[in-house]
C-alpha cells in the first residue's frame, strides 16, 4: 500500500494522519503478535508495538497543543494492514513478518516526509525524526527475520 501521509499542506493535517496511520499500525502489530508462532518474534514485535504506542502518545500531545484532532483509533485502512497480516499468517511466520515489513514501508515513508514538513516546529521535527529512526529499525529487523524464518 502506498501512503500519502506526509504530503499534507498543514501541520494539523499531518499530525492527524500520522495518528491514524499509527493506530492502524498498532492494530496490525496486535494481529501479528496473536498469529506468530515463534516466541522470540512475538517478543520483538511487542517491543516494536511499544514504540508505536509511544508515537501515539507523543502525537496526541502534539495534536492537542496545535488544535488537531487527537484520533484514538485508526480508519478504514486498518482493514488492509490487519488483513494482509491475517492472510500471510496462513503461510507461517516468515510470510507474516514479510507482510509487516510491507506495512512498515508506509510508516517509514510517512515519517521521512514529516521530517521535512515546512510547518513543523523544531520539537515536532525532532519527534518525527525519532519515529523515522524507529521505523527504519523495525523494517530492517522484519526484513532480516523474514529471510531467516
The predicted-structure confidence for 57-66, as pLDDT tens digits, reads as follows 999 999 999 9
Higher-confidence residue of 86 and 131: namely 131
127: pLDDT strictly greater than 60: yes
Indicate if the alpha-carbon torsion angle 44, 50, 53, 58 is positive or negative. Answer: negative
CA 149 to CA 147: how far, in whole Å? 6
Burial class (CB in 10 A: 0-12, 13-18, 19+), 148: exposed
Nine-digit cell string for 145? 527475520
Please count the residues of the chain. 149
3: pLDDT strictly greater than 90: no
Average pLDDT, the chain: 89
* Spans of all domains in the chain: 11-148
In the chain, pLDDT over 70 holds for what percent of residues?
Answer: 87
Of the candidates 42, 43, 6, 41, the one whose C-alpha atom is nearest the C-alpha of residue 21 is: 6
- Any residues with CB less than 8 A from the CB of 118 and at least 6 apart, and which? none
Nine-digit cell string for 13? 493535517
Query: What does the pLDDT read at residue 77?
Result: 63
123: pLDDT strictly greater than 60: yes
Q: Are 20 and 110 in contact (CB under 8 A)?
A: no
17: pLDDT strictly greater than 70: yes
The predicted-structure confidence for 65-107, as pLDDT tens digits, reads as follows 999 989 776 555 655 566 566 666 666 788 888 888 888 999 9
- Any residues with CB less than 8 A from the CB of 80 and at least 6 apart, and which? 1
Query: What does the pLDDT read at residue 148?
Result: 87
As a CATH number, domain 11-148 is 1.20.1260.10
Tell me the pLDDT band of 4, cut-offs 50, 70 and 90.
confident
Q: Are 65 and 120 in contact (CB under 8 A)?
A: no
Amino acid at each position: 500500500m502506498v501512503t500519502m501521509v506526509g504530503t499534507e499542506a498543514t501541520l494539523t493535517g499531518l499530525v492527524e494522519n500520522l495518528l491514524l496511520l499509527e493506530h492502524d499500525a498498532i492494530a496490525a502489530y496486535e494481529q501479528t503478535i496473536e498469529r506468530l508462532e515463534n516466541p522470540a518474534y512475538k517478543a520483538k514485535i511487542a517491543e516494536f508495538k511499544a514504540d508505536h504506542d509511544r508515537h501515539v502518545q507523543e502525537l496526541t500531545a502534539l495534536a492537542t497543543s496545535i488544535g488537531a484532532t487527537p484520533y484514538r483509533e485508526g480508519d478504514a485502512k486498518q482493514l488492509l494492514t490487519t488483513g494482509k497480516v491475517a492472510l500471510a499468517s496462513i503461510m507461517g511466520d516468515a510470510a507474516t513478518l514479510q507482510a509487516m515489513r510491507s506495512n512498515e514501508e508506509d510508516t517509514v515513508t510517512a515519517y521521512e516526509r514529516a521530517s521535512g514538513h515546512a510547518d513543523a516546529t523544531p520539537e515536532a521535527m525532532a519527534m518525527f525524526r525519532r519515529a523515522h529512526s524507529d521505523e527504519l529499525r523495525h523494517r530492517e529487523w522484519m526484513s532480516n527475520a523474514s529471510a531467516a524464518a
